[in-house]
């Protein structure tokens, strides 16, 4: 076998090996884009959405009616983070959970969407106070205990909460009703439908674990269905096949 033929065979083998390596790398990249991280120490196990509506008494005005309310439609979103079975070691810590890059991708026909963090005072979890508005990012810090009011989540797993509120969807004024329910039935009372107040929200959820950040993009259609008939509705999302976490570079 002459030298030129040997060189050609060596070159062909090298090209074939390089092609195989490139194909394998591309397959790994494609698989990662589709599946994301599959062995994170902690995982998002469930998202719970609780939708309702309520009337807020007007302030700074002389009240001449029995009921004079500004109606808001609220959606409380709970993120449950737990240890990921055998992938979790004793030294693994959930250092923070961040909700950021919040965008209303579909605006409601009525109202204005605002994002609220839990209030740090006593009483109800959320209040319509501008000091608790979330502009673009809300971070929960890993701690020994889980406490939404202090924006802390358990470093061994816990839950984080945020509210997406469609504010000022209308006014309810009445002197006739002896009592009212502060729930989704108010939407019908002010002459609106669920379609009028529905919207879509998009955001990134970032888990920082052992100094490594994992990010997933999430889209939610709000509120939950049948709100006007049931008053308060709950949706639990446990199928996470479409919520893919990838390392933040």
Using CA atoms, how far apart are residues 19 and 21, in angstroms rounded to an integer? 5
Q: How far is CA 137 from the centre of its chain?
A: 11
SS3 93: coil
Count of H-run helices and E-run strands, the chain: 4, 11
Strand-by-strand arrangement of the 246-247 sheet: 152-154, 137-143, 94-106, 199-209, 212-222, 246-247
Q: What is the pLDDT of residue 5?
A: 67
- Local structure of residue 123 (DSSP, 8 states): S
From first to last of the 249 residues of the chain, give the pLDDT tens digit.
567 666 776 777 777 777 666 666 565 454 545 455 778 999 999 999 999 999 988 766 666 777 888 999 999 999 999 999 888 999 999 999 999 999 999 999 999 999 999 998 877 899 999 999 998 899 999 999 999 999 999 999 999 999 999 999 999 888 777 678 889 999 999 999 999 999 999 999 999 999 999 999 999 999 999 999 999 999 999 999 889 999 986
Taking only the tens place, the pLDDT of each residue in 166-203 is 999 999 888 777 678 889 999 999 999 999 999 999 99
Domain boundaries defined on the chain = 1-35, 41-247
Beta strands 152-154 and 137-143: pairing type?
Answer: parallel
Per the CB < 8 A criterion, the answer to whether 181 and 229 are in contact is: no
Query: Is 237 buried (19+), middle (13-18) or exposed (0-12) by CB count in 10 A?
Result: middle
Sheet containing 233-237: which strands, arranged edge to edge?
112-116, 158-174, 67-83, 42-57, 233-237
Question: Which pLDDT value is given to residue 12?
Answer: 72
Q: Is the pTM for the entire model greater than 0.75?
A: yes
Task: Tell me which residue of 183, 184, 205 sits closest to 193, measured CA to CA.
Answer: 184
Burial classification of residue 74, based on how many CB atoms lie within 10 Å of its CB (0-12 exposed, 13-18 middle, 19 or more buried):
buried
């Amino acid at each position: 076998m002459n030298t030129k033929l040997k060189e050609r065979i060596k070159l062909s083998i090298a090209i074939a090996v390089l092609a195989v390596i490139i194909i394998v790398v591309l397959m790994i990249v494609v698989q990662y884009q589709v599946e994301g991280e599959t062995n994170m120490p902690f995982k998002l196990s469930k998202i719970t959405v609780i939708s309702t509506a309520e009337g807020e008494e007007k302030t700074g005005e002389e009240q001449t009616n029995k009921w004079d309310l500004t109606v808001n439609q609220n959606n409380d979103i709970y993120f449950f983070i737990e240890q990921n079975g055998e992938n979790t070691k004793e030294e693994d810590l959930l250092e923070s959970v961040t909700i950021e890059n919040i965008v209303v991708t579909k605006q409601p026909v009525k109202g204005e969407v605002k994002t609220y963090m839990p209030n740090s005072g006593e009483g109800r979890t959320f209040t319509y106070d501008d000091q608790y508005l979330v502009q673009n990012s809300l971070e929960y810090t890993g701690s020994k205990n889980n406490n939404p009011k202090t924006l802390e989540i358990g470093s061994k797993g816990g839950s984080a909460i945020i509210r997406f509120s469609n504010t000022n969807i209308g006014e309810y004024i009445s002197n006739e009703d002896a009592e009212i329910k502060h729930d989704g039935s108010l939407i019908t009372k002010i002459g609106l439908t669920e379609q009028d107040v529905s919207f879509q929200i998009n955001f990134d959820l970032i888990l920082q674990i052992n100094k490594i950040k994992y990010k997933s993009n999430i889209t939610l259609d709000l509120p939950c269905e049948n709100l006007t008939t049931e008053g308060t509705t709950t949706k639990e999302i446990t199928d996470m096949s479409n919520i893919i976490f990838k390392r933040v570079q």
